[in-house]
Amino acid sequence: MNAITATEIQMIDAQTVDLSPLQAVIFDWAGTLVDFGSLAPTQIFVEAFATFGIHITLEQARGPMGLSKWDHIHQLLQDPSIAAQWLSTFGKEPSSTDVDAIYARFMPMQIAKVGEFSAPIDGAIQVLQWLRANGLKVGSCSGYPREVLNQLLPQAAKAGIAPDHVIAGDELAAGGRPGPYMALANVLALGIGDVRACVKVDDTVPGIEEGLNAGMWTIGLSLSGNEVGYSKEEYAKASAAEVDARVSAAEAKLKKSGAHYVVRSIADLPPVLSDISGRMRRGEMPSA
């Protein structure tokens, strides 16, 4: 297993570099800061649909990850095989009212379970400390509704993950991903003077698109996130060839979405951020 080592963590802690003119890094939550493999939302989608007699696979559940949870459910119901099951079971095409019903079933299940998946991803605590030591602000946003984040945030904070600002997927009237609104809400709350001096870090395509639509640099995370989808136990048991194949597929998908960089996990961010800051000092901007 290629988890970050104690020596590597010490190296992150020890590094002090010039990250100007960068001002902030804005993180997703599940699969990015906490919950290696982004397991919390995925399994609950499967279980919530099952209460309606509808079978969906983990792979199907992962498909729209990164969207707000209502939008995620709506997107799942557009899947031809899921829509066909709904029609067979209920005698009608799924509607927005049905999305509301599944969402209402999903929410208490997610609230009850999310705390079990609040463990920081290896290196996350150290990278956040490193960012602050080097003068950057730390924002965050999530497809999770505020009710779910209210359960997750205190437990994550106890473990050492506490961004300067947090936006939930249901808090903005303008909507969520792939729109730029949550990322830009962080810019306003953190007092950032230039969106081009921000980096959005995410493990999903909608999250990368969010950052691009906001005019930010973007970094995709492959191994730790939704696209690979290993639990830590599965990752420990997987062969190197299997891991490489799944990571390569995730990298290709994230790069196709427009990510400026793709790395395996948050532990790999310091050299990438140093590279971005160097490019900015040479006059490069994310839109280029």
Q: Which two tokens stand for residue 145?
A: 């509704």
Domain match, 32 and 124 both:
yes
Mean pLDDT across 252-265: 98
**CATH code for the domain in which residue 60 is found:** 1.10.150.240
Percentage of the chain surpassing pLDDT 90? 91
Domain match, 17 and 125 both:
yes
Residue among 13, 35, 69, 137 flagged as catalytic: 69
Domain match, 22 and 46 both:
no
Q: Pick 1 or 219 by higher pLDDT.
A: 219
Instruction: Identify the pLDDT of residue 4.
Output: 46
DSSP 266: G
Q: Is residue 287 part of a domain?
A: no
Q: Is residue 190 part of a domain?
A: yes
Q: How many domains does the chain have?
A: 2
Domain match, 153 and 276 both:
yes
Q: If we measure between CA atoms, which residue out of 1, 6, 65, 56 comes closest to residue 31?
A: 65
Instruction: Identify the pLDDT of residue 281.
Output: 97
**Looking at the predicted structure, is the pLDDT value of residue 268 above 50?**
yes
Cβ atoms of residues 177 and 144 within 8 Å: no
State how far the Cα of 118 lies from the Cα of 280, in Å rounded to an integer. Answer: 34
**Looking at the predicted structure, is the pLDDT value of residue 221 above 80?**
yes
**Looking at the predicted structure, is the pLDDT value of residue 11 above 60?**
no
- Out of 55, 83, 115, pick the residue that ends a domain: 115
> Phi then psi for 169, rounded to 5 degrees?
-70, -15
Domain match, 151 and 231 both:
yes
Domain match, 85 and 138 both:
no
Q: Is residue 1 part of a domain?
A: no
**CATH code for the domain in which residue 10 is found:** 3.40.50.1000
Domain match, 224 and 237 both:
yes
Instruction: Identify the pLDDT of residue 46.
Output: 95
Mean pLDDT across 26-41: 95
Q: Which two tokens stand for residue 74?
A: 């709506």
Domain match, 159 and 20 both:
yes
What is the per-residue pLDDT across 191-216, written as a single tens digit (0 to 9) for each?
Answer: 999 999 999 999 999 999 999 999 99
Model confidence at 16, pLDDT cuts 50, 70, 90, reads confident
For this structure, is 268 an active site residue?
Answer: no
What range does the domain containing 101 cover? 40-115
**Looking at the predicted structure, is the pLDDT value of residue 107 above 90?**
yes
State how far the Cα of 261 lies from the Cα of 202, in Å rounded to an integer. Answer: 11
Buried b / exposed e over 75-88, threshold 16 CB at 10 Å, is: bbbeeeebeebbee
State the average pLDDT for the chain.
94
Domain match, 104 and 133 both:
no
Q: In DSSP terms, which residues pair with 45 in a beta bridge?
A: none
Q: Is residue 286 part of a domain?
A: no
Residue among 13, 18, 28, 98 flagged as catalytic: 28
- Out of 86, 115, 144, pick the residue that ends a domain: 115
Q: Is residue 79 part of a domain?
A: yes
Q: Is residue 288 part of a domain?
A: no
For this structure, is 69 an active site residue?
Answer: yes
Domain match, 25 and 93 both:
no
- Out of 62, 96, 115, pick the residue that ends a domain: 115
**Looking at the predicted structure, is the pLDDT value of residue 53 above 80?**
yes
Mean pLDDT across 242-249: 98
Domain match, 30 and 86 both:
no
Domain match, 90 and 23 both:
no
**Looking at the predicted structure, is the pLDDT value of residue 188 above 60?**
yes
Instruction: Identify the pLDDT of residue 2.
Output: 42
State how far the Cα of 254 lies from the Cα of 77, in Å rounded to an integer. Answer: 24
Q: Is residue 257 part of a domain?
A: yes
What is the per-residue pLDDT across 130-182, written as a single tens digit (0 to 9) for each?
Answer: 999 999 999 999 999 999 999 999 999 999 999 999 999 999 999 999 999 99
Model confidence at 12, pLDDT cuts 50, 70, 90, reads low
Model confidence at 41, pLDDT cuts 50, 70, 90, reads confident
Q: Which of 60-69, 178-187, 246-255 has the lowest mean pLDDT?
A: 60-69
Q: Is residue 219 part of a domain?
A: yes
Whole-prediction pTM: 0.89
Instruction: Identify the pLDDT of residue 15.
Output: 63
